[in-house]
Amino acid sequence: MENLDWKNLGFGYSDTNSNVRCYYRDGKWGELEISKSNEITMHMSATCLHYGQEAFEGLKAYRGKDGKIRVFRIEENAKRMQSSARGILMPELPVEKFKEAVFKAIKLNQEYVPPHGSGATLYVRPLLIGVGPQIGVKPATEYLFIVFVMPVGPYFKEGFKPTDYVIYREYDRAAPQGTGTIKVGGNYAASLRAGVRAHSEGYSAVLYLDAREKKYLDECGPANFFGIKGNSYVTPKSESILPSITNKSLRQLAKDMGMTVEERRVPVEELAEFSEAGACGTAAVISPFRSVYDADKDIRYTYGNDPGEVSQKLYNKLINIQCGCEEDPHGWVSIVE
């Protein structure tokens, strides 16, 4: 893959060598299969097509200075996919099978893992879909789990450079007792209109408010929100946001640095009190805010053109642990062998 322009990769799909698949039929998971095809064949009445029986995950493989390939907190992704499966009545894939499939997919495509220091990583996309036919609104009896990978650059093209975000009250991503806490396709479908509008108006993403009262911060499109206030790392507690593995890790790293962590409801007006704020997630890593525009109230909260000191420290710590350049005191990283 020497001819790949790693430094200028965007966050997009590209083909690699092969993907790993596993079917659930007759009440049990089968063996892992390797496929060279980027297509799947399924019944036209498959439940993933009609009733949204679809869940996915996102994690990354990182090339270290030592040339080794590492993944970050893979058990957390495996467990979150189980929680998504429970949420929409799909069978849970055992954690070990999830890990085995991810490791296999990475190994089969290892020449696509970007070099250390290029700023790019290998994005891993596990997907679980109902493929059995139903026409009544019922769960399928057959499922397909697939893991495919691709090299990617930053999710927001500016990477770690601060950018602008927007609040619109007329859209919700997920309902309070709906599916916001699990990673299912329907949430992303619900976010498309607001997301495309935000991009067309020059914003990186939408900062959603809680759907019930529109008083509190929820999350930022495909990432969680965090703000820094004095010595505190503040992040929303909400019944409609995805429990981000990156955010969970940043909370721990903030504690390790002697900061206080506040996981609580965050009123939208508190945006004025943060010295730094940003989005965090696997794809987004830390994407600092330059500003948040509250479109309904015509208020702009601003944070500066450069990443804040705390965001910078957290970012460096996180990416250094992920690629094996710094000690991993919490045992978050596994080497792909």
Does 278 participate in binding ligand COI (rule CB under 6 A)?
A: no
Does 178 participate in binding ligand PLP (rule CB under 6 A)?
A: no
Spatial separation of the C-alpha atoms in residues 112 and 183, rounded to whole Å: 26
Spatial separation of the C-alpha atoms in residues 287 and 35, rounded to whole Å: 35
CB of 33 to ligand PLP, least distance (A): 26
C-alpha neighbours within 13 Å on the C-beta side of residue 258: 1
- 212 phi-psi bin (left φ>0, alpha ψ -120 to 50, beta other): alpha
What SS3 class is residue 282?
coil
Among 58, 87, 139, 159, binds ligand PLP (CB under 6 A): 58
Spatial separation of the C-alpha atoms in residues 124 and 242, rounded to whole Å: 18
Tell me if residue 183 is catalytic: yes
Stretch that binds ligand COI, among 86-94, 250-258, 275-283, 297-305 (CB under 6 A): 275-283
Instruction: Give the x/- contact pattern for ligand PLP in 221-260, rule: CB under 6 A.
Output: -xxx-----------------x-xxxx-------------
Q: Is 69 exposed, middle or buried (0-12, 13-18, 19+ CB in 10 A)?
A: buried
Structure tokens of 9? 């990769």
Does 282 participate in binding ligand COI (rule CB under 6 A)?
A: yes
Give strand pairing partners of 35: 19
Among 271, 283, 292, 323, binds ligand COI (CB under 6 A): 283
Does 84 participate in binding ligand PLP (rule CB under 6 A)?
A: no
Q: Which of ligand PLP, ligand COI, none lies near 244, with the C-beta cut-off 5 to 8 A by kind?
A: ligand PLP
Does 195 participate in binding ligand COI (rule CB under 6 A)?
A: no
- Cβ–Cβ contacts within 10 Å for residue 327, how many? 8
Give strand pairing partners of 291: 164, 302
Residues that bind ligand COI (CB under 6 A): 58, 222, 281-283
Residues that bind ligand PLP (CB under 6 A): 58, 219, 222-224, 242, 244-247, 281-282
